[in-house]
Amino acid sequence: MTEEILESCVIKNVEIGKMYAFIDAGKVFLLSEKGTSIFIDNALYETIKSKNCPEELLIKLVQRGFAQFGCSPAVVEKKAKIYPNFFMITMTNNCNMRCKYCFHQFLPEHLSVLQEDMLEKILDYIIKYAKQNHVPRIMIQAWGGEPLLCMNLLEKMFHKLEASGITYKICLETNGTLLTEKVVEKLNEMRIGVGISMDGIAEIQNEQRPFANGTDSFEALCSGVRRMQKNYHDRFGSITVVTKDVLEHLEECLDYFAEMNISTIKFNIARVSEQQTFGLNQEEVEDFAVRLVDRMVYLTEQGHHITEGNMVDRLKNLLKRNDQNICNSHGCQGGKRMISFDTLGNIYPCEMTDYPEECLGNIETDHDLVSLIQSRQGKGYYTEKNLGNCKDCPFLYYCGGGCTTAIIYQKGRVEGIDELGCTFNKAIYRRLIYLLLHKPQVAEQIIEERL
């Protein structure tokens, strides 16, 4: 696959914007700076290069946001606005496991559990915000630590939200070892979305995700998964942290999930800091992205009904300029759309509750959430990323410099961009475009939509 950049120009009084061309197999995938796209054949692409486009193509380019003619409405570049609709509430920072890559500290002086009265106040704060700002739907994630250590709080959360009059969804991410029959039935009754953290085959799961006493967790996890499949069927997903060990066994891990009939999976690159050695370097990240796409294509062609979140989100970005994903549809919007609360009611951008310097305020004293976020723009977490080296990247609209939290975790402050995220995006987007050009029917199966 070859790539070309076409600079902006004027053709027949139509202003054509800068575009990126990906060319292979007689077909061309065009991508605009505003994140819109179009498929054309090579012959039509040559008419653009020669500035001799047929009118039908010019009209289509206008419709798809590549061009503007006179007073025709332009496709507007979406701006990330302050609009929190995803809230994370720390139920506890304790856990029954000690995952090797976990960024939480489990020292006795750091352990705490959310008190019932504080949960009530946090929910009142969120409900009031949603009603005052006419937010049509909110998502609340119970997290920790291990949130299933606090089933009583989950039930109180459910009943409070049921009576609130707002549209909501509760979700949680669990290590899967506490999913007893009773717990699964209760979660199902409360319609709680569940993601299970699991790292694949037994060897890796036991090595990376042992219990707090050091014993293996694989069998307990598998029992929890089977109970979820009995009650939830395919209405749950898995989350895998990609370390060097997972990368070494990537295809084996993906095949394992397919054989387990887990239909929704997501593989997230381990956060990197100077103190840890399990994270991937840039070369390994690129290798991961390519192998992930290739193996998922293989599994799809073999008849497995399985989708991977990174692929689905980015395919929808390419095809529909999807703006649904807070993290990767139009740059990191974590601190503008995702807000977290710790056990004391302190408010943080994204999932920064382990960084006291990033605290925005407290629910007891700071009643206007939007104004609170606005007051921090340009400071700390909200420091603008330096995108000077990104100006010619075809995927800048979607990436926007990557994950702010990952930058802070690695560097201690917002400085530069998320280099590993950048490498991953460049590699996976190019592999997905290759897929679209060569096997569009497989892409349809992966996103479960007609192209």
pLDDT higher than threshold 70 for residue 392 = yes
What integer pLDDT is reported at residue 104 of this predicted model? 73
pLDDT higher than threshold 80 for residue 121 = yes
| Number of other CB atoms surrounding residue 93 within 10 Å | 21
Give the global pTM.
0.94
What integer pLDDT is reported at residue 271 of this predicted model? 82
- The phi and psi torsions of 75 (rounded to 5 degrees) equal -75, 115
pLDDT higher than threshold 90 for residue 323 = no
What integer pLDDT is reported at residue 103 of this predicted model? 77
Confidence of residue 449 (pLDDT cuts 50, 70, 90): confident
Q: Considering the chain, what percentage of its residues have pLDDT values greater than 70?
A: 95
**137-141, 201-205, 338-342, 390-394: least confident range:** 390-394
CA angle 219, 220, 224 (to 5 degrees): 115
Confidence of residue 81 (pLDDT cuts 50, 70, 90): confident
Q: What is the torsional sign of CA 281, 284, 289, 290? A: positive
Length of the chain: 451
Which pLDDT tens digit goes with each residue over 220-277?
999 999 999 999 988 999 999 999 999 999 999 999 999 999 999 999 999 876 556 7
pLDDT higher than threshold 90 for residue 286 = yes
- Cβ-contact 95, 145 below 8 angstroms: yes
What integer pLDDT is reported at residue 154 of this predicted model? 98
pLDDT higher than threshold 90 for residue 44 = yes
pLDDT higher than threshold 80 for residue 70 = no
What integer pLDDT is reported at residue 383 of this predicted model? 96
What integer pLDDT is reported at residue 83 of this predicted model? 94
- The phi and psi torsions of 39 (rounded to 5 degrees) equal -100, 135
What integer pLDDT is reported at residue 102 of this predicted model? 87
Name the nearest CA neighbour of 406 among 341, 332, 343, 344: 332
Which pLDDT tens digit goes with each residue over 165-201?
999 999 999 999 999 999 999 999 999 999 999 999 9
- The phi and psi torsions of 89 (rounded to 5 degrees) equal -115, 120
pLDDT higher than threshold 70 for residue 77 = no
pLDDT higher than threshold 60 for residue 379 = yes
Q: Are strands 14-16 and 27-32 parallel, antiparallel or unpaired?
A: unpaired
pLDDT higher than threshold 60 for residue 74 = no
Mean pLDDT, the chain, whole residue set: 93
List b or e across 237-268, with b for residues whose CB sees 16 or more CB atoms inside 10 angstroms: bbbbbbbebbbebbeebbbbbbebebbbbbbe
pLDDT average, residue stretch 399-419? 93
